[in-house]
Structures are given as C-alpha cells and as structure tokens.
Amino acid sequence: MSTQTAQQLIEQAKAAQAAADAALAKAQAALAAAEKLADAGGAAAAAATGGAIDPTVFRFAIFVLAIFVGYYVVWSVTPALHTPLMSVTNAISSVIVVGALLSVGVPLMSEGTTAARGFGFLGLVLASVNIFGGFLVTQRMLAMYKKKG
C-alpha cells in the first residue's frame, strides 16, 4: 500500500466522520422536535377528549414509529459511514452505562427499586456488550490495514 493510498483512506475516513457527525446532529435535532411534538400532541389529544385518552398512548405510538424510522435510517446508511456511525452509538452506550450504574445503585429503602435495579442491570449488560463489541470490530478493522509479514 503506498503512502498516497493511505493518505486518501485517511481523508475519506475524515470525510465520513464529518458526515456522520452532521447526521448525528440532525438526528438529535429531529429527536428534540419529536419529543416536543409528542408532548404537545399528547396534551392536545387529552384536552380534546376531556382526558379520556392518556397522553402516554400518543407518546408510545410515536415511540413505535421512531423504531421503524430508525430501522430504515440505519439500514440505508452507506458502508463508508457505517463505522463512524457505530462509534457514535458506542459513545451513546457509554452514557447508558452511567445511567444503568446509577439505577443499579438505587438504595433498597425506597419502594419500587427492585424493577429499577433489574432494568438497570439489564441495561448495563446490554450496553457493555455493545461497547466491547465495538472495540472488537474496531480492532479487527485496524488489523486489516497493517502490513502483513
């Protein structure tokens, strides 16, 4: 592999990282707008029905729709952007680990902490698997660029 080819690969990786960062910023803005819309829609529906429909139902419906949109967005990502996108999700998983550790550490004195501790432990395990899997994939990808022999 020549130095020029390696330099081109580095430039492509930087461009892909910049595109992934821009996509993440747009996704975060869309999420904030969706949360505001969900709260407003839920409150409006509850007011229009005189409180007969709980706003949680509308929030849950938006959550289910967000799952489908997220699925189609992730599967339409080009292969060049896949690795930077996964590095961003690993960063998000590290935030989940912090929240899960806080949830697992809830004192046993208050009521209803068993479920919080259980979900916190489950979140901790799943986020840890995601983070360590991301490190393994990154290590394997970097090994592909090492000179053999």
Task: Please say which residue of 46, 76, 106 terminates a domain.
Answer: 76
Structural domain harbouring 145:
79-149
Is 56 found in the same domain as 118?
Answer: no
Task: Please say which residue of 24, 52, 76 terminates a domain.
Answer: 76
Q: What is the pLDDT of residues 62-100, one digit of tens each?
A: 888 888 887 887 777 777 666 666 666 777 777 888 877
Q: What is the pLDDT of residues 22-67, one digit of tens each?
A: 777 777 777 777 777 777 777 777 777 776 777 778 778 888 888 8
Is 91 found in the same domain as 31?
Answer: no
Is 132 found in the same domain as 107?
Answer: yes
Is 59 found in the same domain as 38?
Answer: yes
Is 83 found in the same domain as 67?
Answer: no
Measured between alpha carbons, how far is 104 from 137 in angstroms, rounded to an integer?
Answer: 28
Asked whether the beta carbons of 45 and 53 are under 8 A apart, the reply is yes
Measured between alpha carbons, how far is 77 from 126 in angstroms, rounded to an integer?
Answer: 23
Is 84 found in the same domain as 69?
Answer: no
Tally of structural domains, the chain = 2
Is 141 found in the same domain as 84?
Answer: yes
Is 55 found in the same domain as 86?
Answer: no
* Among candidate residues 11, 8, 141, the one with its CA nearest the CA of residue 82: 141
Q: What is the pLDDT of residues 16-30, one digit of tens each?
A: 777 777 777 777 777
Asked whether the beta carbons of 114 and 84 are under 8 A apart, the reply is no
